[in-house]
Homo-oligomer: A and B are copies of this chain.
Amino acid sequence: MASDERRVQILHVAMKLFAEHGFRGTTTKESAVAAGVSEAMVFRHFANKDELYHAIIDHKACNHAEMKTPLEKLTELAAAKDDYALFYGLALNALNHHRDDPNFMRLLLYAALEGHELAQMFFENFVVEIYSFLGAYIEERQREGVFRQMEPKIIVRSFIGMVMHHSLNNTLWDKEQNLLQVTNEDAARQFAEILLNGVLTKNQ
């Protein structure tokens, strides 16, 4: 197999294992075996275990850049003041992304717990940005008297909380437990409805 090809293959295999068992819980030997090569091959393509982890981070950081594209569409919805479409779209986009790439959430959780950079990077590049974007929109809608007066950031946290916690449950538990089976469309719709009814002024 060509060098680049092999490198990417090991990267993907290792990413899966790191997502399942964490950085400390995955051995280079396991990664090698899962990729169908010897351990020496891992160290030929990556100087050490840390570099392998960083390569995974970079790879995921790229994926994350792709995630931002739909955010631009959300900006249009915000400009059009379409509250429901904005919150629904935000939720559905996140839920679908988490379902299609469950490894990302697990990697991120491990990174946050283990104090790796991926968590910090995600926070600075994505969480801060979405709080800023949604917070500004909410403030605007409050000035217009459409949303009730309350700390904008707590509204953001409430909504992100619904969505993220739902994905977290799907990723960590619900697979087996079957506590709440619902399509992403239904979940996004109901989260958006609850939040908007919760923050709209009574006379809307």
For residue A169, which residues in chain B have a CB less than 8 angstroms away from its CB? 157
**A153 pairs with B179, CB closer than 8 A:** yes
Beyond A160-B165, A161-B162, whether A112 also contacts B195 by CB under 8 A is no
Q: Taking the complex as formed, is A150 at the interface, i.e. its CB lies under 8 A from any CB of chain B? A: yes
Which secondary structure characterizes the binding site on chain A?
Answer: helix
Q: Taking the complex as formed, is A62 at the interface, i.e. its CB lies under 8 A from any CB of chain B? A: no
**B180 pairs with A154, CB closer than 8 A:** yes
Q: Taking the complex as formed, is A136 at the interface, i.e. its CB lies under 8 A from any CB of chain B? A: no
Q: Taking the complex as formed, is A106 at the interface, i.e. its CB lies under 8 A from any CB of chain B? A: yes
Q: Taking the complex as formed, is A43 at the interface, i.e. its CB lies under 8 A from any CB of chain B? A: no
A184 → chain B, closest Cβ, in Å?
12
A contact set with B: CB distance below 8 Å: 21-22, 24-25, 106, 109-110, 112-114, 119, 123, 127-128, 131, 148, 150-151, 153-155, 157-158, 160-166, 169, 172-173, 177, 179-180, 182, 186-187, 190-191, 193-200
Q: List 9 additional A-B contacts (Cβ < 8 Å) besides A154-B180, A162-B162, A194-B199.
A: A22-B114, A109-B113, A113-B172, A151-B182, A157-B162, A157-B165, A157-B169, A194-B198, A196-B198
